[in-house]
Amino acid sequence: MSVVDDAGAMLLAEFRAWLVRERGLAPETVRCYCQHAGKFLGELPDPLDAAVRQLDSGQVSSFMIAYCRDRNTWSAKAMATSLRALLRFLHVAGHTPVGLAAAVPAVAGWRLAALPRGLDAAVVARLLGSCDRATVVGRRDYAILTLLARLGLRGAEVAGLQLGDIDWRAGEVTVHGKGNRIDRLPLPADVGDAIVGYLIAGRPACAARTVFCTVRAPHRRLTAAAVRGIMGQACRRAGLRRVGAHRLRHTLATDMLRAGASLPQVGQVLRHRSQLSTTIYAKVDENALRPLARPWPTGARS
């Protein structure tokens, strides 16, 4: 069974509509959920409607065990979350007689177990400097990387930025974040200059209302995956090991802390809905941790 077959495509379309209508999820989240759901449905035998009706907890658990083999924690968690959503939908919509969301095994992971990994200022400079601003692609990519580094935006937020979201007179930008949250942020001069450089000499005239578009026709809005790809290409040009766009968000947070900002201030800039999301940066808050460090014991050795 391939998810591009009619039965699979129709079921995914129904799932997508349910996520938007009932869950109110952001477009990028819906896309990710459907992508993972398609992988699960693609493993079911033909005919799909009968396979879905006869679905049991053993099949769900077996799929997750096989899928998670040799995958990292974040990839496994993304599949688990998406699969639970799909199974809830299948039960609510009457495709399965019982709810099977609880059959998805939990993925082991410990919150706050790792340090947030920021980048050195020299590394960020190399990433930005790798963009050839004499070209359209270079001007676009430079503006995208500058937004990621200076405002700590998520990749999906950069991809979804609309032309009307920038208030040039007020020097502000409206960001449509996770959970339909809308925030207005100050637009630093260097970020504004980078965007203007692309808009004036680079952005194609097209129907898309997003700030950033594809370079080749037919011109379309960029996706979050495209933003991740732009970050990866910048790493390659700069001779660096590939890192995700989210590392620039971590970099902004750690730089703020080292400059004396408090955790609540960092949370405001990163637009965290919960203070718990910001607590991971307490591990790199050197100013707050310094008084807690015990002096190294001294004295004569026996």
Same domain? For 131 and 241 the reply is yes
Q: Which domain holds residue 205?
A: 121-246
Same domain? For 208 and 181 the reply is yes
Q: Last residue of a domain, which of 103, 137, 167?
A: 103
Q: Name the catalytic one among 178, 219, 220, 228.
A: 178
Q: Name the catalytic one among 36, 133, 247, 272.
A: 272
Same domain? For 77 and 142 the reply is no
Mean pLDDT over each residue of the chain, to the nearest integer: 85
Q: Name the catalytic one among 91, 176, 246, 283.
A: 246
* pLDDT (tens digit per residue) in 44-94: 998 999 999 999 999 999 999 999 887 888 788 999 999 999 999 999 999
Annotated catalytic, 154? yes
Same domain? For 99 and 201 the reply is no
Same domain? For 86 and 188 the reply is no
The pLDDT of residue 288 is above 60: no
Task: Please tell me the pTM assigned to this model.
Answer: 0.66
Annotated catalytic, 219? no
Q: Name the catalytic one among 140, 249, 250, 271.
A: 249
The pLDDT of residue 292 is above 50: no
32: CATH:
1.10.150.130
Annotated catalytic, 249? yes
Q: What is the 3-state secondary structure (H, E, C) of the chain?
A: CCCCCHHHHHHHHHHHHHHHHHHCCCHHHHHHHHHHHHHHHCCCCCCHHHHHHCCCHHHHHHHHHHHHCCCCHHHHHHHHHHHHHHHHHHHHCCCCCCCCHHHCCCCCCCCCCCCCCCCCHHHHHHHHHCCCCCCHHHHHHHHHHHHHHHHCCCHHHHHCCEHHHEECCCCEEEEECHHHCEEEEECCHHHHHHHHHHHHCCCCCCCCCECCECCCCCCCECCHHHHHHHHHHHHHHCCCCCCCCHHHHHHHHHHHHHCCCCHHHHHHHHCCCCHHHHHHHHHHCHHHHHHHCCCCCCCCCC
Same domain? For 73 and 182 the reply is no
Same domain? For 92 and 179 the reply is no
Q: Is residue 258 part of a domain?
A: no
Which residues make Cβ contacts (< 8 Å) with residue 36, sequence separation at least 6?
78, 79, 82, 83, 86
225: CATH:
1.10.443.10
Same domain? For 93 and 142 the reply is no
Same domain? For 125 and 99 the reply is no
* pLDDT (tens digit per residue) in 192-247: 999 999 999 989 999 999 999 999 989 999 998 899 999 999 999 999 998 888 88
Annotated catalytic, 91? no
Same domain? For 217 and 173 the reply is yes
Q: Is residue 290 part of a domain?
A: no
Same domain? For 58 and 131 the reply is no
Annotated catalytic, 176? no
Q: Name the catalytic one among 150, 154, 203, 271.
A: 154
Q: Is residue 173 part of a domain?
A: yes
Query: How many structural domains is the chain composed of?
Result: 2
Higher pLDDT, 211 or 276: 211
* pLDDT (tens digit per residue) in 89-127: 999 999 999 999 999 988 766 555 555 567 888 999 999
pLDDT at 298: 63
